[in-house]
Each structure stands twice: as C-alpha cells, then as structure tokens.
Structure 1
Amino acid sequence: MNIEELIDLMNSRRRMQLTPLKEKILRSAWKGHTYTDMADKFYYHESYLKTLATEIWNDLSIISGQVITKNNLRLKFDSEESEILTLDNNRLIDFKATDENDIFEFPGSPIAIDCRFYVERPPLEELAYYEIRKSGSVTCIHAPLKMGKSSLLIRILNQAEQVNYLTVSIDLKTIDNVLFQDLDKFLRWFCVNVTRQLKLPNRIDEYWDDLLGSKVNCTQYFQEYILPSIHRPVVLAFNEFNKIFNQNLILHEFSSLLRFWHEQSKELRVWKKLRLIIVNSIKNFVPLDPNQSPFNVGLPLEILPFTVEQIQDLANRYELDWIGERGKNNAQILLEVVNGHPYLVRLAFYYLLTNQISLDELETLSGSVLYVYQDYLKALLFILQRNPLLLDPLREILLGRKPLDIDSAIAYQLESLGLIEFRENRATISCRLYQYYFEQKLTSDHLKVDKLN
C-alpha cells in the first residue's frame, strides 16, 4: 500500500477524513520527517502537530486492528511483509468499498436485510425462524412504536424464502377505512391480496356464496383453492394488526377465523401448509373470547430494548468508535436517556455523526435533544389524546417519581406504548427522556387534552 492508497482509505471513512494539515502530517511522517521538521515547514507549533498526529495514529489503529505509531507506520502499511497487507488486506479494501451513505441515512424505515445496522437480539430471531417451520404455527410479535418489528419481520420472511417457503405480507395500515365497515368486503379484499401475492388467478367469484356467509366463503377459498394450488408451505404475515383493534366487528370475526384456521391444521392436511405471523404495535386491549383468539395459541415474541452491549456494538457499526470502558460509559448514558429504544438510539447516532448534538447535550437533555426526538414524542402524545383515560395515571407516575400501583388495564396499555416499565410489580416511567418531556406536557393544572400539541 502506498501513501495515496492510505490517504484514500482514511478519506473513505467520513469520520476519519483528513484535513489538509492532517494530510500533510501523514505524508511527512510517511517520508520519515520529524515533528520538528514539520513545525519548521508548516509554521505550526510542534506540540499541536503531535496532537493532530495522535488522532491520525488512533484512526489508523482502529482501521488496522493494530497499534499504529509514527515510528511503525511504514512498517505496518508499506512493508512487503506487512501483517496488515497479508492478513487484513480484504478488510481494508472493504473499508474503502463500503457505501458510507448508509451511515448518514436518516433512521425511520425498516432496516434492509443486508444492512449492517440490524442488531440481533438472541434468542429472538432463532425462535421465530424455528417456529415458522412448524405446521399450522402462529407467531405473535409485539413491541411499542418503532422498536424494530418490521425489520424483524423482513428477516423472518427472508428466512422462510431461504427454506423455499412462499411468503405473503399483509400490511393492515394500507387498507382503506371503508373496508373496516363491512366484513364481507374486508375478507374479499384480504383474499384478493393473498391471491395476487401468490401470483394465482383470481377466482373469488367462483367460491363466494352469499348464503354461506363471509367467513365460510373465505375459509373455502383458502381450503379448496389457494392452499391446494401451492405445493410448498406459505408464511402469511399481518403487519400492524393493531389497526383493527378499534374495529370491533372485524377484530372479533377475523381473529376467530385465524384461530379456526390454526385449529384446522391439527385435523386437515391442507391447512398444515399455513403458518401465521401477527405483528402488533400495541397489545390487544379488547377482550376476546380465549377460545376464539389467535393470540393465546401461538408463540409470543416481545422485542426488548437494546442492552448497553448492543448499544455499544451498534455505535461502532456507525463508526463512532465507542470502544472499551469509555464506549461502555457512553452507551450507558444513552441507555438511561432513551431506555435502549432502537429507533431513538439510531436517531441519537445520526445526530451525533452529523455533529448536530453532542453526548453532553444528550445526557443533560438540552433543548436540541428535544428537537431530535420531537416527532416521535408528538406521536406518543397523539396516542394519549386518543386514549384520555391514560392521562391521569401517567401524570401520577410522572409526579410521583417513584413506582406506583395503578389499574392493570391502564398499566397494560402504557407499558405497550413503552412509556412505563415495572419494577417489583410497580409502574415507573421508562426513561429520562419521557420523564422530562411528559412532565412538562402533562402536569399543568387543569390540562385539557386538546392542548397537548
């Protein structure tokens, strides 16, 4: 590796890009010049040049995985016997070839299957991969807003395709509201969606008989047409299933239908091909007949917040270089601020990388930090507006600043939103960010719901 390749390598990593002066220092060190020589040539104090040089050697040490100094620079990178060139050359090339733009992509969308920023949370993924191999299985995934449900679902469906299963993904947030008013239209929409994704001809009219009822028609369409037409297992996933929680008719009838299909897999071979995945942002608050609910027969999977170790791991994937005890302490700060919430962690990394906030500002929850999280916090406020019965209990928890006993149904909903957690069976606010923000928004006297904006 020559000096030009080394400079290109450093500049390929945004946080290690060389300033003009740093590039001069690196070129001079490569030639064996002393710091005194550099000070005379560049008209900077020698101690200042040494400080900048130390930053260069630290960056090169991270890239190479070895200790780099001015004295061993040429030995490590230029020698024909260089360990870096012989053992780590592919990795160094990868640094240069890596598309750096993914680091600066604003968080918010599900994480692509090949993206390095997806952090596995064992044994979550393996449990899901194992479950979809079971005939007639039901997997229920729950987590609050933006915890990574869609990213996990992408990986489960990819795993299904890897073992040659068919996949169908139904995202209920794409459905027109008018279809929630009519069970027959809803089930026809559902059947058409599945038919198209499986690339089968639409034969709904042949199997739909008004005298039999919508649920029977839908079941017959699957049992007599869709499932016999495919020769491989199919994973049918419902994302944002909670969109129907406020639609009592659809919720009860469709939930009982899915439960019936699961039970049919124990009796009829054709139903063994079907595996169901149900993904919720909010737990089901509507009481369902336990004998007609799909939520109590399948594998429940809850996506948990990141741990300190996972935050530190992700920070280094973002090239923040949170290594050793210092990195662990940084991760602990972020854990306390956002309780390890994956989306909020990634938002913090984005704004740290783009130098719009500092770690000190995160720790002290300055005004700029609230700006970073304002859209997400407003989304939670909107949900509270829609559920005013949650306001007083949450206000009690905020003002009490200690764990409280609250109604179990209310606690269930607040926990589902990620706003509270339980310590020794008593409710407490889940993170410092929520405590600081909602304390301002919810604790004014005579607060009205319509003033929460």
Structure 2
Amino acid sequence: MKWQMSFPRNWLFPGRRDGHNSMIGKILREKYRIKHRMGGGGFGETFIAESLDSQDDKYYVVKKLKPTITDPQIWKQFSQEASVLKKLGQYHPQIPEVYDYLEQNKEFYLIQEYIDGHDLSEEIRPGERWSEAQTTEFLAEILEVLTFVHKEGILHMDIKPANIMRRRSDRQLVVIDFGSVKQISTQVVENGKIRINPNTLVFCTPGYAPPEQSEGKPDFFSSDIYALGITAIQALTGISAIELFKENGKVIWRNEVGDSVSQAFADFLSTMVSFAPRKRYQDARIALQELEKILDNTDETTNSLQSPFPPRIDVPSLDNYDDTIPPLEVPNGPVPLNSPFYIERCSSNMYGRSTALRRVKAPRKWGKTSATIRMIEHEREQGFHIVCLNFQEFDKLDTKPLQNLGIFLQNFCESIIQELNDKGLQIENNVAEHWQNSLVPNNKAKCRIYIQKYILTVINKPLVIVLDEVDRIFGNSQIDAEFFALLRVFYEKRASEAIWQKLKMIIVHSQDYTETSKNKSPFNVGESIDLPEFEESQIEQLLQKHGLNWTSEQINQLMEMVGGHPYMVRVALYNIANQEMTFSKFLQLAPTEAGPFSRDLLYHWGNLEKYDVKNEYRKVLAAKEAVQIDAQKANILESMGLIGRDKNNPNKVKCFCKLYRLYFRQHLGLER
C-alpha cells in the first residue's frame, strides 16, 4: 500500500471510480470528509480526506483500522500508540503529524498529515543499483530520524521502501506507517489480556522483517536496524528483499556488488542484517555513529563530492512535551541502551577496563541481558573487539559438539574467528588444520595455543568474549568441567604472559556451578556482577518516570507482592500507568493466570516439573520461616527466582515473594 500521490493536488481525483466504496463521502468528527480511497491491506484501508472548514485547504490521510475483536482494552492501546505518534510528528519534521484519532461505530481511525511526494519503491527498483554514495546518504538521513524515534523508546516495526516517502517540496525523506498502530488489528484478548494473534502478522513485512520479528518477538531497536539494512542492500544490489539469498543465518549479498562497495561499508551493512539480534547495532544512534566513522576514514580523493550526510535537524526532545514523564515503554526483553526506564542496580566495577573476567549471575528476567549489553557497549566505545557467543544456540545444532570436547573446542575457536571476520577482520580460519597437525595431544592445550597464536597475536586491540547462557552446558560430563577449567587457564595466563592481557571475558549465567574444584573454575575468580532486586528508592524513581504518585503504603504493598523483582515491578507500573488496570486490580490478579504474569507462572510451573523440584519447593512454601533444603535443588529454584537466601543463614531459603507463595501453594495442593 502506498501513502502518497506524485502529481499536483488538482489531479488528485479525476477519473477515479470510488462510488462503490461505502466510505466515500463519510464524515468523521464533523470535520473530515472522505474523498478518495488510496489502498488497503490486512490491517485496514487508507483514504484521502478533505476538511469541511472552508479556510482549510489541506488534504489528510485517514487510516481505517480493522480490529479483529471489539474490546475496551484494544481501544486503550490504540489511543496510547496514536498519542505517542502524535507527539513524534509534532517534534520531528520527517515524521507525519497525527492530527486526530477516534473510534466510530466500533472502527478506529487515524487522521494524519498528507505527504505530497512518492515512496522509495519508485526509486529502489528491481534490477537498478544505487551507488555506495547514494546508499550512505539514504542511510544517514533515515538513521537520523530513527535516532530520534529510538531515543523516545519507540520501535517502528515496519521499515521498507514503501514506508519511506520522498517529500516533493524539499526532497527530504519522511518515515511513515509505524507498525505499532497496525499491530492493533492483529490482536486478541484472552483471559483479560491482550495478545498477538499468531495467525496474523500483517505488521511484519516478509523479506524486511528480521527472524525474531517474523516469530512475533521483535528485539527492540535492532529489529529496525535489520529492516533498514535489508532496504539498503536491496538498493545496492537491485535484488528485492524477498529474493535476497539467506543461508546459515546470514544474508548473502556481497558477491552481487563486487568491488563497487568498500569493505568497511560492506561490513557495516552485514552487521546491520545479522540474524542474531545482539550482533547488530543496538539502536539507530550507534549505527549512525559507526557510519560517520566510516565516512570520516574515507580518503578525501574518493569523497570529493558533497558529504552524503544531510544537514542535522535541531529537533527538540519529546521531554519538552512533559517536563518529567517520558513516553511509556513496554517492559518486554532487554531495556534499550537509551531507555529512561533503566535503573542502575550494580554497585561493583561493572564497566572497569582493568577487569579481565566478569561474571553476571541472576535469575531469568532479572536484567542480566540489559546489564551485559551496557558492558558490551562500554567496551565497544573503547575500541575493543567484541565476540558474543550464546550457548543457548547449541539447542539448534546437532549434538556432536556437545558430545566431544575436541569438536566443541574447534567450534569455539571457529566461532570467535567468524565473529571477528564478520566485523571486518581478515583472520585465516585454519582451525581444522591446526587440530590435525598439532603434536600436542591435549584438546585444551590445542585450543589455548590456537587462540594465542592465531587470534591474540593477530589482533591489535583487546578482545572481549561474552559467553552467554553458559548454564546450557552445566552438568554435561563430556565438556563442562574441561571447558571451564580452560577458561580459568585463560584468566591465569594474564599474570605471566602479556599476550593474554589482550583477552577479557564476560560470563553470563543463572545457576551456580559446583561440578569442579575451586582452582579449576572461572566462577570464583574475577569480579562478580551482582544484580540486586529493586530497593524502595529505585521503585520511587520508576514511579516518577511513569507519572505515578503513590503513598508509602502502596509501595510496600507492591514490594510485598512482587518483591523487588525488576521485571515484575516494571510490568506493574506500566499496566497501571497505561490504565490497563488499577492498583487494587493488579494486586488481585497478579498471582493468577488472569493477571499480567500468567505466562511466567506457567513457565515456572513447567520448570518445577522439568527439574523435579516440586517437592522441595513445597517444603519452602509450607514453612513459616526460612528452611534448609537439598543444596542442588535450592540452586535450581534460586536460578528460577522462586526463592531467596536468608540473610542470617545463607544455607536456608524462603519464598521470594507473596505472588509466588499464593500461586504455587494453590497449585501444589497447599492451603492458601
């Protein structure tokens, strides 16, 4: 669907036969008359309207949305999304202004600024290729707009040529059709909670949407970065997004452009379109900074033309719209780097440059990833090489690496090289040859020698290896003890060999590891990054950011119900600030499957069965005070966040919060 006309206004409607459409001539808000249908899609229809005010000669774009159901919650969410877009358009000239939004006869309408121009599907055409200069100019301008959008905590969700307009009057690009509003038409309400209908993902355009968004789980701003990168590659290659070849988690495109694109710019685009969200630039600001570095380093003789960057627009922050309250941010996944809702909880040397090994341990949805991406960003700003390896991905591979230490360590080395080469280095991958020809029989020694000789010796900057979800190999008798002992060797080598001072590690996990001796473990050296639960003062900060003015009694009631659980506190404040429910309703529904934590409660219930810890948890819930239980099962329950250690006696544990006590006592057959 296109949201533009590319001819003069007095040519807007001649020759059109829209009389059959029941919307033609319809009047909205006693102010706007529908004049012409522009198009439609799975989420609704788009029309051109004129004002009934004789003094107003402007045309308007009207979007009519088709919710799959009628429910007051859907209208509330639509109003919230529309009000956010209204603020965006008021403060940035390259985002259409929203003039009005309304519900009429159980249908939703969004009335927006009409953009006179054409969309970029008329410029990015199959078989026609843009130059690198054209593409960098395009990226710079759109990243400038998205930097503003992401700064306000908003995700576009549907970047593609058809949603980028070239305005006729000044030739500037305008970003249109934010997917958050279109998403309204794909939602259903189950048990009082809004959910995405899994059979309708119309706000997700095939080819442009990253894998996680196609599965209904956009990874915040990096999802926009992927879609914009695909658009740029389409412009460079002349190959449509849906036809771009994808293999082994990569977009294969460089062979289509040969030497016409510089290595640095090609690496930049490949990072944008990485299938792994954490390997992309995390928001538009970071991507724009990297693009600026590439152009700054370009030889002046090849850059004699005018700089591709458009003049920066001095855009006021939306904070001016309200002096204290930022736009609400849905608490789902890692907290974005520039989010005003991130609360620093770590008092240790989280960003210390001298720290060779940092260990981040916390339960699920406790903020591990949010803390880790901030550490990664800090190291990236220092110019260090970053390699992120997620052990959760082993679930998607064959079982051979998990059954053979040699194969596992070879894959480990190859993954490091691939990550570095994806970022522009050119390190030879001779892992298999090294393993075959090395006279050293020990696999750990082969790995250590390889990393020292072929990686650390080659790179000219420190290397930071992030090992995420290492719990996935806990208890694997084939590899875990040997691999973790090897990491300990890496750490200790720093003291005796300068070359190993180039290596830093960040290990992220939920459970304690107790399967090896202390002098062979990386889990008792380096620095532990503790992520404590929210304190009362931090909840007060979040209340202010959500525009809520609570009494001390209400804060105490919240902390009693969910403890200082970072995710649950954020969810509570978001739902109440967004008027999804009152505070008393939240307290009533929170420990039930009709409340906002239903999916989490069912997830925990499944893990109680999976790890056979029901009986131990029943003991915890039955006790009126802290109680001692089996140490291994206490470790599992603590990693799930269901229990907390007694401050006076760490060997004893108690239920983490009232929410878990109420829910699981009922489901485990105990009286409430």
TM-score by length of 1: 0.71
Structure 1 residues 230 and 327: alpha-carbon distance in aligned structure 2, compared to 1, 3 A threshold? farther
Q: 1:386 matched to which residue of 2?
A: 610
Q: Aligned match of 1:168 in 370, 374, 387?
A: 387
Shift of 1:95: 3.6
Distance of 2:392 and 2:567 partners within structure 1? 20
| Residue matched to 2:660 | 434
1:203 maps to which of 416, 424, 430: 430
Q: Distance in 2 between matches of 1:260 and 1:193?
A: 20
Asked if structure 2 preserves the Cα contact closer than 8 Å seen for 1:312 and 1:327, the reply is: no
Give the Cα–Cα distance (whole angstroms) in 1 for the partners of residues 391 and 591 of structure 2. Answer: 36
CA RMSD, aligned part only? 3.2
Mark the CA change 1:316 to 1:298 in structure 2 (over 3 Å): closer, same or farther: same
**Which position in structure 2 is the counterpart of 1:103?**
328
- Equivalent in the alignment of 2:468: 239
Q: Check whether the contact 2:590–2:597 (CA below 8 A) recurs between aligned residues.
A: no
In structure 2, relative to structure 1, the CA distance for the partners of 1:393 and 1:116 (3 Å cut) is same
CA distance in 1, matches of 2:372, 2:345: 14
Q: What displacement does 1:208 show?
A: 1.7
> What is the number of equivalent residue pairs in this alignment?
354
How far the C-alpha of 1:114 sits from its partner, in A, is: 1.4
Answer whether contact 1:142 1:282 (CA < 8 A) is retained. yes
Deviation at 1:91, TM superposition (A): 7.8
Q: Do residues 290 (structure 1) and 518 (structure 2) align?
A: yes
Partner residue, 2:5: none
- Are 2:359 and 1:133 aligned? no
Q: How does 1:247-396 map to 2 (within 5 A)?
A: 247-284=476-513, 286-317=514-545, 319=546, 321-323=547-549, 326-365=550-589, 370-388=594-612, 390-396=613-619
Alignment partner for residue 368 of structure 2, among 138, 142, 149? Answer: 149
Ranges in structure 2 where 5+ consecutive residues have no aligned partner:
1-82, 89-97, 102-314, 422-426
Which amino acid in structure 2 is aligned with residue 303 of structure 1? L
Match of 2:642 in 1: 419
1:35-184 to structure 2, matched below 5 A, reads 94-96=319-321, 103-105=328-330, 107-124=331-348, 127-130=349-352, 132-134=353-355, 137-175=356-394, 176=397, 178=399, 179-184=401-406
Q: Check 1:334–1:254 CA distance in 2 against 1; reply closer, same or farther (3 A cut).
A: same
Query: Is the Cα–Cα contact under 8 Å of residues 365 and 433 in structure 1 kept in the other structure?
Result: no
CA distance in 2 between counterparts of 1:93 and 1:170 reads 37
Residues 357, 368 of structure 1: 8 Å contact kept: no
8 Å CA contact 1:167, 1:236 repeated in 2: yes
One-letter identity of the residue aligned with 1:316 = Q
Q: Secondary structure of the equivalent of 1:276?
A: strand
8 Å CA contact 1:405–1:427 kept in 2: the answer is yes
State the 1:145 CA deviation.
0.7
The CA deviation string for residues 131-180 of structure 1, in whole angstroms up to 9 with x for no partner, is: x424xx21111001110101100001111122222211111111225121
Residues 418, 381 of structure 1: CA spacing in aligned structure 2 closer, same or farther, 3 A cutoff?
same
**In the TM superposition, what whole-angstrom CA distance separates every residue of 1:242-275 from its partner, at most 9, and x where no partner exists?**
1111312211111011011111111111111101
Residue 300 of structure 1: SS of its match in structure 2?
A: strand
User: Residues 368, 352 of structure 1: CA spacing in aligned structure 2 closer, same or farther, 3 A cutoff?
Assistant: farther
User: 2 CA distance for matches of 1:247 and 1:306?
Assistant: 34
Determine if contact 1:142/1:302 at 8 Å carries over to the other structure.
yes
Q: Is the 8 A contact 1:143 1:302 kept in 2?
A: yes
Larger helix share, 1 or 2: 1
Q: Which runs of 5+ in 1 are unaligned?
A: 1-7, 21-89, 446-453
8 Å CA contact retained: 2:318, 2:326 = no
Deviation at 1:309, TM superposition (A): 1.6
**Residue 191 (str. 1) matches residue 410 (str. 2):** no
Identity across the alignment (%) = 28
Matching residue within 222, 235, 245 for 2:451:
222
Contact 1:357-1:369 within 8 A present in 2 as well = no
Deviation of 1:292 after TM superposition, in Å, equals 0.9
* Structure 1 residue 328 displacement after superposition: 4.2
Measured in 2, the distance between the counterparts of 1:133 and 1:111 equals: 26
Letter in 1 for 2:665: E
State the one-letter code of the partner of 2:492.
E
One-letter code aligned to 2:510: S
Sort the Cα spacing of 1:434 and 1:162 in 2 relative to 1 into closer, same or farther, 3 A.
same
Structure 1 pair 271–128 and aligned structure 2 pair: CA distance change class (3 A): same
**TM-score, scaled to structure 2:** 0.49
- CA apart distance, 1:350: 3.1
Q: Letter of the aligned partner of 2:536 in structure 1?
A: V
Matched AA of 1:295: F
Assess, with a 3 A threshold, how the Cα gap between structure 1 residues 91 and 432 changes in structure 2: closer, same or farther.
farther
Say if 1:214 and 1:399 are closer, same or farther in 2 by CA, change over 3 A: same
**1:276-330 residue CA offsets vs partner (Å, 9 max, x unmatched):** 111102222x42121211111221222111112212212332x3x234xx35443
Q: Give the match's secondary structure for 1:111.
A: coil
Amino acid at match of 1:196: Q
Is the contact between residue 481 and residue 515 of structure 2 (CA under 8 Å) also seen in structure 1? no
Give the C-alpha shift of residue 423 in structure 1. Answer: 4.5
1:209 is displaced (CA, Å) by 2.6
Q: Distance in 2 between matches of 1:273 and 1:92?
A: 40
Shift, 1:351, TM fit: 2.4
Q: Which amino acid aligns with 2:384?
A: Y
